[in-house]
Amino acid sequence: MSEKGIGIGQEEAEKRAIKRRYRALLKVSKNVRTKKDKEKLRKAFDIALEAHKDMRRKSGEPYIYHPLEVARIVAEEIGLGTTSIICALLHDTVEDTEISLEDIERLFGPKERTIIDGLTKLSEVVDYTVSMQAENFRKILLTLSDDVRVILIKLADRLHNMRTLDSMRRDKQLKIASETLYLFSPLAHRLGLYALKTELEDLSLKYTEPEVYDEITTKLKKTKAVRTRFVNQFSVPIVRELKKQKIKFELKGRTKSVYSIFQKMKKKNVNFEEIYDVFAIRIILETQPQNEKALCWNTYSVVTDFYQPNPDRLRDWISTPKANGYESLHTTVMSPGGKWVEVQIRSSRMDEIAEKGYAAHWKYKEGANESSFDLWINKIRELLENPEKDAIEFIDDFKLNLFAEEIFIFTPKGEIRNLPKRASALDFAFEIHSEVGYHCMGAKVNHKLVPLSTQLKSGDQVEIITSKKQKPNESWLDYVITGKAKSKIKSALREDKKRLAEEGKPKVQKWLKKSGIKLNEANMKEILKLYRLPNDHELFYRFSIDRINIKRLDSLIVEKGQIVGKESAPVKQSEFEKQLIQKGKTEEMLVIGEEMDHFDYKIAPCCNPIPGDEVFGFISINEGIKIHKTNCPNAVQLMSNYAYRIVKARWTSQQQIAFLAGIKVTGIDDLGLVNKITQLISEQLNVNMRSISFDSNDGIFEGTIMLYVHDTKHLHKLANQIKGIEGVINVSRIDA
């Protein structure tokens, strides 16, 4: 959009706002120290300002606000230096304006060119419209192993987009938020950027589950004063003792993020009030690196002198840091009021690494050995080396290695190896070397012979037993969890499959000849369709291992060696669909797609949406369009991996149609209460029930009722009326 439509007053106000934002950027750019660096930064700003001068964002603001804000995040929140800030200011110029990579190199240098080239390729990958994220995620990681700054700037770009997501359409908001939750927040986590990761998760929740987000934030605001008072009381004896010992420190209370509270509520199936560890207390010590460990343990001793620790909740990441460099000592202690409180103890250096991750790592890296972070990047490179891997599978493997908690395993010579939690002896064999993995027969864990599937525990000493005759088989995939082991096993199995397919080809030819079917492309297509196989190679392989039901060929109609059709089988209809058809016309209930057309669809059984729920359509391969709730457990994965198969969908009002929904009722057991509930549902509200089950235990009853409703309004009204019955404590919806 051009500047023409803007008044002189507004133009002046925007110019002042741009200057103000630029000054704010300079103020937080602590790593831009020399005059030369400041000049380069000014040059980058002037170029970006000129290049984007006629452009505006969806919100109507001047486009330059975006690169300025991304640069500020890069400088202040991630703590990067001049090169990164320059690249953040220019990150959209090559893609959106006349400026070329050659111009960038001429004006700034080869390093800036490389980073902006990486960012330009990335924005083609992670675009709001082209949603082949899974296919392209490998490219993101390739840039990660070239120059981590590309990913750090991309994360800053994503954070600013998430902060300004309000101006986007609802379906775009859902796609972007899901993709953020699925790919970017785990990446920020693994890069050690905890502050960024937390904000990305919270903002994603704000758009994927707005009601839940509002409820938790409101409750956190309400309980803030109580928490502050509690932290102050709890800290008094610790502060007094640390001051007495002349230890320099800072003590602060840290509230858990909205997203992590929500995850805990979901996992433990409890409400907000039942979560005891809504906050943690952090003690940050000022000391020299050589004294850190001793001082942290000394502080731990001070804390546990006053409060009883829970021995199962001690986490020592000072002796063995996490792979992303995170170091800290965590303990959970019992407060005088009977509440468990998490206390985190770390030095200011550890705190900076915890908040700013890899960027801070660089600062402290001189003279250190190869850091655990570099080892992690090398593991990613190994994953990337397998070009045949299916992209979705690749992301799943990668995410598993991103999220996993770690265990530490010793080799027979006493070397330490990091593995994800739940890793098996076979994972360890592949961690040592691919060849050791391929020929692994068994393992000795702590000198005792165990099967390959044995899950290892931190501190185990493991020796691998190999044999030249051993080779991988399919069952191995069931008990490995690391990306490296999975990828190497699959690669070996593929080679084996290739060999078997070659052996199966002449057998298939012989079989077709015998059945009077000519071997040509059209016939092959029909046979693959019949057996639902993706290609000839799979058919040859199945034939080679006797996994083909030859009798199914009888259903084909063959004339003069050519397949001309197939005898049709009657289509079965589900009970639920029959009921829908009896109750009303199904095609009038949903409008689907950009043009809001009418299509055939199915209700997804994983979340069972009903009218009134916010929904989206997913184009499945064999079953047409499936309708899911936007907060379905599978929504994040579907929107991230297959966003190009997502279509808009919304309900139209259809009073005569009934949908199956479930509610859970809890309350105080009272004579005749169940009767009152069933009477209200069936007699007063005229709602049909499909099933009802109640269970009573120690004076508390819990019931599940499956009933037919028109939409969410109908269901909410019903729930509110049931809540009005004396003795009922809670009514909540469950997925049918």
Do the Cβ atoms of 157 and 91 come closer than 8 Å? Answer: yes
What's the confidence (pLDDT) of residue 685?
67
Report which of residues 138 and 218 the model is more confident about: 218
Q: Specify the higher pLDDT residue, 398 or 369.
A: 398
Could you give the CA distance from residue 554 to residue 630 in angstroms, rounded to a whole number? 44
Question: pLDDT higher for 60 or 40?
Answer: 40
Maximum average pLDDT range among 237-251, 348-362, 624-638: 237-251
pLDDT at position 136 over 80: no
pLDDT (tens digit per residue) in 367-397: 344 455 555 556 555 555 554 445 455 555 5
Contact 83, 149 (CB under 8 A): yes
This prediction has a pTM of 0.60
Question: Can you tell me the distance from the alpha carbon of 428 to that of 456, in angstroms, rounded to the nearest whole number?
Answer: 9
The arithmetic mean of pLDDT across residues 546-570, rounded, is 71
Give the pLDDT of residue 279: 77
Say yes or no to pLDDT of 634 above 50. Answer: yes
Question: Burial code of 276-313, b = ≥16 C-beta within 10 A, e = fewer?
Answer: eebbbbbbbbebeeeebbebbeebbebbeeebeeeeee
Span 550-556, mean pLDDT?
74
DSSP code per residue over 86-123: HHHHTTTHHHHSS--HHHHHHHT-HHHHHHHHHHHHHH
CB of 402 within 8 A of CB of 189?
Answer: yes
The whole-angstrom separation of Cα 508 and Cα 543 is 7
Q: Cα separations (Å) of 288 from 51, 296, 348, 634, 664? A: 47, 12, 10, 48, 57
Structurally, at CATH architecture level, domain 220-365 sits in: 2-Layer Sandwich (3.30)
Under a CB-based contact definition with an 8 Å cutoff, are residues 647 and 175 in contact?
Answer: no
- Which of 484-488, 552-556, 617-621 has the least mean pLDDT? 552-556
Q: What is the pLDDT of residue 398?
A: 55
Helix, strand, coil percent content, the chain, rounded in steps of 5 = 55, 20, 30
pLDDT (0 to 100) of residue 244: 94
Eight-state DSSP code of residue 246: T
Residue 169 contacts residue 184 (beta carbons within 8 Å): no
CA–CA distance from 422 to each of 408, 448, 453 (Å)? 11, 19, 10
- Is residue 138 scored above 60 in pLDDT? no
Angle (nearest 5°) at CA 539 between 538 and 542? 85
Query: Is residue 566 over pLDDT 50?
Result: yes
pLDDT at 5 over 90: no
Q: How high is the pLDDT of residue 329?
A: 94
Average pLDDT value for residue range 136-155: 66
**Per-residue tokens: 82:** 């001049």
Q: How confident is the model at residue 599 (pLDDT cuts 50, 70, 90)?
A: low
pLDDT, residue 305, reads 93
For residue 110, with 0-12 CB atoms within 10 Å meaning exposed, 13-18 middle and 19 or more buried, which class applies? exposed
| pLDDT value of residue 139 | 54
Q: Quickly tell me which residue has 């829908």 as its tokens.
A: 580
**What is the C-alpha end-to-end distance of the chain, expressed in Å?**
48
With 90 as the cut, is the pLDDT of residue 346 above it? yes
Residues with Cβ within 8 Å of residue 656, at least 6 apart in sequence: 583, 584
Q: Does residue 163 contact residue 170 with C-beta atoms inside 8 Å?
A: no
How far apart, in whole angstroms, are the C-alpha atoms of residue 412 and residue 434? 18
Residues 725 and 731: their CA atoms lie apart, in Å, by 11
For residue 169, what pLDDT band results from cuts at 50, 70 and 90? confident
Q: Residue 361: pLDDT band by 50, 70, 90 thresholds?
A: low
Q: How confident is the model at residue 278 (pLDDT cuts 50, 70, 90)?
A: confident
How many other CB atoms sit within 10 Å of the CB of residue 104?
25
91 close to 104: Cβ distance less than 8 angstroms: no
432-483 tens-digit pLDDT: 888 899 888 888 888 888 888 889 987 788 999 888 888 888 888 888 888 7
> Comparing 117-131, 288-302, 321-335, 381-395, which segment has the lowest mean pLDDT?
381-395
* Model confidence at 720: pLDDT above 80: yes
What pLDDT shows up at residue 668? 78
pLDDT, mean of residues 484-500: 85
What's the alpha-carbon Rg for the chain, to the nearest Å? 30
Q: Is the pLDDT of residue 428 over 90?
A: yes
Percentage of residues in the chain having pLDDT higher than 70: 81
Q: Strand 625-629 and strand 601-603: pairing?
A: parallel
- Residue of 384 and 503 predicted with greater confidence: 503
> What is the band of 600 on the pLDDT scale with cuts at 50, 70, 90?
low
> Residue 131: its pLDDT value, please?
39
To the question of domain 659-734 being in CATH 3.50.50.60, the answer is: no
With a cut of 50, say whether residue 726 has pLDDT above it: yes
Sequence-ordered strand ranges (E) for 246-335: 249-255, 279-285, 308-309, 315-316, 329-334
Which helix (H) or strand (E) is 546 found in, with range? none
Closest CA to 177 of 165, 188, 167, 186: 165
pLDDT in tens, 311-331: 888 889 898 887 667 889 999
Would you tell me which CATH number, out of the four given (1.10.3210.10, 3.10.20.30, 3.30.70.20, 3.40.50.720), belongs to the domain 372-479?
3.10.20.30
Average per-residue pLDDT for the chain: 79
Q: pLDDT value at position 200?
A: 94
Output the pLDDT for position 335: 84
Least confident of 129-138, 409-418, 448-457, 715-724: 129-138
pLDDT-based confidence at residue 298 (cuts at 50, 70, 90): very high
Does position 571 have pLDDT exceeding 60, yes or no?
no
Confidence of residue 204 (pLDDT cuts 50, 70, 90): very high
Cβ partners under 8 Å of residue 127, min gap 6? none
Give the residue numbers marked as catalytic: 95-96
pLDDT (average), residues 349-360: 76
Total count of residues recorded for the chain: 736
Quick one: average pLDDT of 101-108?
Answer: 88
pLDDT at 9 over 80: no
Question: What mean pLDDT comes out for the span 90-96?
Answer: 85
Write the class of the CATH domain 3-208: mainly alpha
Mean pLDDT of 251-260: 87
Q: How confident is the model at residue 276 (pLDDT cuts 50, 70, 90)?
A: low
452, 443 Cβ separation under 8 angstroms: yes
Torsion 504-507-508-509 (CA) sign: positive
Average pLDDT over residues 77-95: 87
Q: What is the pLDDT of residue 156?
A: 92
Lowest mean pLDDT among 162-176, 196-210, 563-577: 563-577
- Residue 206 clears pLDDT 60, i.e. is over it: yes
Domain residue limits, the chain: 3-208, 220-365, 372-479, 491-564, 575-650, 659-734
Instruction: Determine the average pLDDT of the residues in 13-40.
Output: 86
Say yes or no to pLDDT of 239 above 90: yes
pLDDT score recorded for residue 71: 93
Percentage of the chain lying above the pLDDT 90 cut: 14
Q: How confident is the model at residue 6 (pLDDT cuts 50, 70, 90)?
A: low
* CB atoms inside a 10 Å sphere around CB 729: 11
Q: Is the pLDDT of residue 659 over 90?
A: no
